[in-house]
Amino acid sequence: NAGVTQTPKFQVLKTGQSMTLQCAQDMNHEYMSWYRQDPGMGLRLIHYSVGAGITDQGEVPNGYNVSRSTTEDFPLRLLSAAPSQTSVYFCASSESGTGNNEQFFGPGTRLTVL
Amino acid sequence: AQKITQTQPGMFVQEKEAVTLDCTYDTSDPSYGLFWYKQPSSGEMIFLIYQGSYDQQNATEGRYSLNFQKARKSANLVISASQLGDSAMYFCAMSPRNAGNNRKLIWGLGTSLAVNP
């Protein structure tokens, strides 16, 4: 299993550009989520999905869109990049159920918006 | 509102000694899970240990143990016999265990641990 993969690893954008951060998992997990990590702010939830076709907003959704057309993929779209979106972005997935649902993280995407 | 508090921004420990990283939480959910993750300087998030709110015993995973005190709403991570490779950021997180697929994690701000040789 590849686990959770994210592309690209690094990206530099100009203000106003759009782009899609890709996330895929091969563990057949129902739950997937996107976080951003900023210094001193911890991890903040952007959007999440509890299954294909179902998405919802997290703590900081403004400026981002998501879709979940398949169980495997959960792309994050930046509509019009702003310097405030400079951050490290993590995608994560987990099983559902009531046991130990550790979230498996991708390696992260470091995004800089100029 | 659900919240995770990690009151130690930075900690130092001597190699081979034990260290406790504090975590307190606030939730009204009757069932929840508590997690600890490690983030080394390379940036990846590494799962360490999990404790369910109804688990009778404290969780242990090798050198990691979780000191779970439900009445005090604390879930402290204990690392025994610290190693230089334990130097990293450590995050405490909480997730509801209710019905459905929502496993949204609430995160603390983290504790930076430095292990001195």
Please indicate whether, in this complex, the C-beta atoms of B102 and A100 are within 8 angstroms of each other.
no
What's the confidence (pLDDT) of residue A98?
60
For A7, residues 6+ apart whose C-beta sits below 8 A from its C-beta are A21, A22, A109
**B109 min Cα distance to partner chain A (Å):** 5
pLDDT at residue B100 tops 70:
no
Higher pLDDT, A20 or A99: A20
Helix (H, G, I), strand (E, B) or coil at A13: strand
> Does residue A60 contact residue A44 with C-beta atoms inside 8 Å?
yes
For B97, the closest of A33, A50, A98 (CB atoms) is A98
For A82, residues 6+ apart whose C-beta sits below 8 A from its C-beta are A15, A63, A113
pLDDT at residue A19 tops 60:
yes
User: What is chain B's percent helix, strand, coil content, to nearest 5?
Assistant: 5, 50, 45
A50-65 pLDDT, tens digit each: 899 999 999 899 999 9
**A93 min Cα distance to partner chain B (Å):** 9
pLDDT at residue B105 tops 70:
yes
- A89 φψ region: left (φ > 0), alpha (ψ -120 to 50), beta (else): beta
pLDDT at residue A6 tops 80:
yes
Cα A46 to Cα B75: distance, rounded to the nearest angstrom = 26
Burial call A54-64: b when 16+ CB within 10 Å, e when fewer: ebeebebbeeb
For A18, residues 6+ apart whose C-beta sits below 8 A from its C-beta are A77, A78, A79, A80, A81
Mean pLDDT in residue range B45-49: 94
Please indicate whether, in this complex, the C-beta atoms of B45 and A92 are within 8 angstroms of each other.
yes
What's the confidence (pLDDT) of residue B96?
77
For chain A, the residues whose C-beta falls within 8 A of a C-beta of chain B are 30-31, 33, 40-45, 48, 50-51, 58, 88, 90, 92, 94, 96, 98-105, 107-108
Bond into A39 cis (ω within 30): no
Higher pLDDT, B94 or A1: B94
**B13 min Cα distance to partner chain A (Å):** 22
Helix (H, G, I), strand (E, B) or coil at B85: helix
- Tell which residue, B91, B109, B97, B117, has the closest CA to residue B27: B97
pLDDT band at A2 (very low <50, low <70, confident <90, very high): confident
How confident is the prediction for chain B on average, in pLDDT? 92
Helix (H, G, I), strand (E, B) or coil at A45: strand
Cα B5 to Cα A14: distance, rounded to the nearest angstrom = 36
Please indicate whether, in this complex, the C-beta atoms of B95 and A101 are within 8 angstroms of each other.
yes
Mean pLDDT in residue range A26-36: 94
What's the confidence (pLDDT) of residue A39?
84
Encoded tokens for B68:
């779970």
Residue in the block written with tokens 């996107």: A34
